[in-house]
């Protein structure tokens, strides 16, 4: 299969309201998704979009798979502090450090109550999980 990962940087003067214009910084293919995420993580505000580019009948619509905002974006849960993009049960969301810690404690306690192992991927910054082994 062939996948295309496009890194785009926001060139807005301010980030009040809509961002843009977006500039393509780099394009990576197939296994280059980790490099694309790392490249976006180095920029002040950037996104990585994924798009199928093969010959099978899959949709070829690009969709955003990673976003980095320097200093973090407004927390999805508390809407007060800022944090990085994390995987949550409700999809990828920006979550501050306080909410990450609270939700990790909840996940770990819930797993102990059920006698299972906690999901190590939830409420951890996505950029920190790039080199982890697959589930």
- Residue in 56, 61, 64 with CA at minimum distance from that of residue 22: 64
- Residue in 128, 117, 108 with CA at minimum distance from that of residue 68: 128
Q: What is the band of 62 on the pLDDT scale with cuts at 50, 70, 90?
A: very high
State residue 20's pLDDT score. 75
Average per-residue pLDDT in the chain?
A: 91
Single pTM value for the model = 0.87
Around 59, how many Cα atoms within 13 Å sit in the side-chain half-sphere? 4
């Amino acid at each position: 299969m062939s996948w295309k990962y496009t890194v785009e940087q926001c060139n807005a003067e301010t980030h009040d309201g809509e961002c843009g214009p977006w500039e393509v910084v780099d394009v990576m293919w197939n296994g280059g998704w980790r490099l694309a995420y790392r490249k976006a993580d180095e920029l002040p505000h950037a996104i990585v979009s994924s798009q199928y580019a093969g010959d099978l009948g899959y949709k070829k619509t690009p969709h955003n798979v990673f976003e980095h905002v320097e200093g973090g974006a407004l927390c999805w849960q508390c809407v007060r502090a800022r944090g990085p993009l994390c995987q949550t049960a409700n999809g990828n969301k920006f979550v501050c450090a306080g909410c990450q810690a609270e939700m990790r404690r909840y996940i770990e306690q819930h797993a102990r109550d059920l006698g299972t192992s906690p999901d190590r991927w939830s409420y951890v910054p996505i950029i920190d999980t790039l080199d982890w082994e697959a589930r």
